[in-house]
Amino acid sequence: MRTAALPDALLAAAIGLALSYAHPKVARQSAMTMIVTALTTAFVPMTGMSDDLAFNGCWASIIIAAAAVHVPVGWLSEMQMSWLWRVLAFNAGLWAGLVTHVEGGAPAVIVGLPLALLFIPGQIFVKRNWGIAIKVACSWLIAIAVLEVGLNLVPTPGYTPDHMD
Amino acid sequence: MSLLTPRTRPLIYTDKAGFWSHVGINFPVHLAAAMVVTLAAVAMPADAHVGTGLAGGFVSGFLHPLTGWDHLLAMVSVGLWGAILGRPLIVALPVIFPSMMVIGAFLGMLNAPMPPVEIGIALSVLLLGAVIAFGYKAPSWMACIIVAIFALFHGFAHGKELPSAADPVGYSTGFVLSTGLLHVCGIIIGLINSRPKGRWVVKGLGAAITLAGCVFMAQAVM
């Protein structure tokens, strides 16, 4: 059993946290890009999209968005970084919308998308030199996404008695 | 300082580079002690995972590490030890643990051969408790390796228990997030370590965790 709600929410959270490191104006634009793209993709009629492709694309996008917080300062110019955030946001919106589309659960994307606004508290954290908390949270998102991609490839063993039972 | 006195100093000191210069924090010891006591008072009974039944989705996965003292103490210990060791391990350990736990979960799902997992988990509680109790300042590389190995065991146990009947995606998301939040609890408790009285509270906690680890080890061996 899988639903679009969780990957949508985690992807929105990943891009929201990543945008904590963007310039406030770029962050606002990127978050809007993500939300608009997701809503558009979710409701545009299309055929032939595979469920597995949509979900794996979504998990891969979470990994990429969450990993972006580790881009070293000065590695890219300010202009390049601002475009990186916009492209990541567009990519995130695209996959969030596709997952919702293939699952047919349109409300899921609406519930998860507000998490893209996590950049608002996130930027306060970064300004106060607590940005490390954002990086730790992003590493959890990466761990979750890697696990979910793996779950598609490896059959889960099913519930067995607990290791302490 | 009275609890009602407005705090005039910053909560976390930073150096010129903007890093936490020390885990040292202006945090009232009595308040921290009250938090620890409150957490202990509201803790769930030590059922140690018995009777979890068919595991479900996110909520089930989230609650799983909280309902067994072995996982709970190990996760809190990782955060606590990271806080004692300071930067960069205060960050590195909570990042390494979930990452390695995922690898362990894959090994569990694949039924890969592993040394006895129960002993590994008990050893993790015992050793992490001991290093906290003795305030052992391990080199960064050693702390990372120790935590990574223990994370493999915890991940392996979770991977073996991943449900296929219900919602494995929600379940695994829940247990990774819950694990991370337990690390954060450990870090918060560890913030009192910079105070002389707080140091003794932390050492006492470490000793209690070690004791629990001994009990788990006895259960695992027998």
Residue ranges of domains in chain A: 5-152
The average pLDDT across B199-206 equals 88
> What tokens were used for A21?
């490191």
Give per-residue pLDDT as tens, B158-189. Answer: 877 776 655 677 777 888 888 888 888 888 88
Q: Which residues of chain A make contact with B118, given a CB cutoff of 8 A?
A: 163-164
- A25 at the B interface (CB within 8 A)? no
Report the distance separating Cα A35 and Cα A32, nearest Å.
5
Q: What is the 3-state secondary structure (H, E, C) of B129-143?
A: HHHHHCCCCCCHHHH
Strand partners, B14: B20
Residue of A1 and B182 predicted with greater confidence: B182
CA-nearest residue to A160 within chain B is: B161
Please check whether residue A148 touches B, CB under 8 A: yes
Question: Looking at the predicted structure, is the pLDDT value of residue B49 above 70?
Answer: no
The pLDDT value recorded for residue A159 is 52
Query: pLDDT per residue over A6-56, tens digit each?
Result: 888 899 999 999 999 999 999 999 999 999 998 888 887 777 778 888 888
* A147 in contact with B, Cβ within 8 Å: yes
Higher pLDDT, A146 or B37: A146
Average pLDDT for residues B28-51, to the nearest whole number? 50
Amino acid letter, B216: F
The alpha-carbon gap from B156 to the nearest alpha carbon of chain A, in Å, equals 10
Residue A91 has pLDDT above 50, yes or no: yes
What's the gap in Å between the CA of B35 and the closest CA on chain A?
21
A136/B172 touch (CB, cutoff 8 Å), yes or no:
no
Q: Indicate if the pLDDT at residue B6 is higher than 50.
A: no
Left (φ > 0), alpha (ψ -120 to 50) or beta: where does B48 sit? left
Strand B12-14 and strand B20-25: the pairing is antiparallel
- From CA B98, how far away is CA B155, in angstroms rounded? 8
Q: Are B217 and B122 in contact (CB under 8 A)?
A: yes
Amino acid identity of residue A33, one-letter, is T
What residue in B sits closest to A159 (Cα-Cα)? B163
- Residue B134 in this model has a pLDDT that exceeds 50: yes
Angle between helices A131-153 and B168-190 (to 10 degrees): 150
Cβ–Cβ gap B169/A129 under 8 Å: no
Give B37→chain A minimum CA distance, Å.
25
**B70 contacts A164? CB cut-off 8 A:** yes
Q: Look over chain A and give the mean of its residue pLDDT values, rounded to a whole number.
A: 84
Asked if A162 has any chain B CB less than 8 Å from its own CB, the reply is: yes
Q: In chain A, positions 122-141, which contact chain B (CB-CB < 8 Å)?
A: 129-130, 132, 135-137, 139-140
In degrees, to the nearest 5, what angle opens at C-alpha B61 toward C-alphas A153 and B153?
Answer: 70
Helix (H, G, I), strand (E, B) or coil at B88: coil
Joined together, the tokens standing for residue A115 give 């998490």
CB spacing of A156 vs B110 below 8 angstroms? no
Of A148, A115, A112, A118, whose CA–CA distance to A134 is shortest? Answer: A118
Q: Which residues of A touch B177 (CB under 8 A)?
A: 140, 144
Q: Does A156 touch chain B (CB under 8 A)?
A: yes
Minimum distance, in Å, between the CA of residue A8 and any CA atom of chain B: 12
For this complex, say whether ipTM is above 0.90.
Answer: no
Say whether A135 and B91 touch across the interface (CB within 8 A).
yes
Query: pLDDT value at position B166?
Result: 57
pLDDT in tens, A92-108: 999 988 888 887 666 76
Please indicate if any CB of chain B lies within 8 Å of the CB of A160: yes
Residue at B168: amino acid letter: P
Nearest CA-CA distance, residue A1 and chain B, Å: 6
Residue A86's pLDDT band, with cuts at 50, 70 and 90, is very high
Contact in structure between B148 and B36 (CB atoms under 8 Å): no
**CA dihedral angle for residue A135, residue A141, residue A145, residue A146, rounded to 10 degrees:** 50
Contact assignment for B162 to A156 by CB distance below 8 Å? yes
Q: Is the pTM of this model over 0.90?
A: no
Tokens for B160, please give them.
């073996």
Average pLDDT taken over every residue of chain B: 75
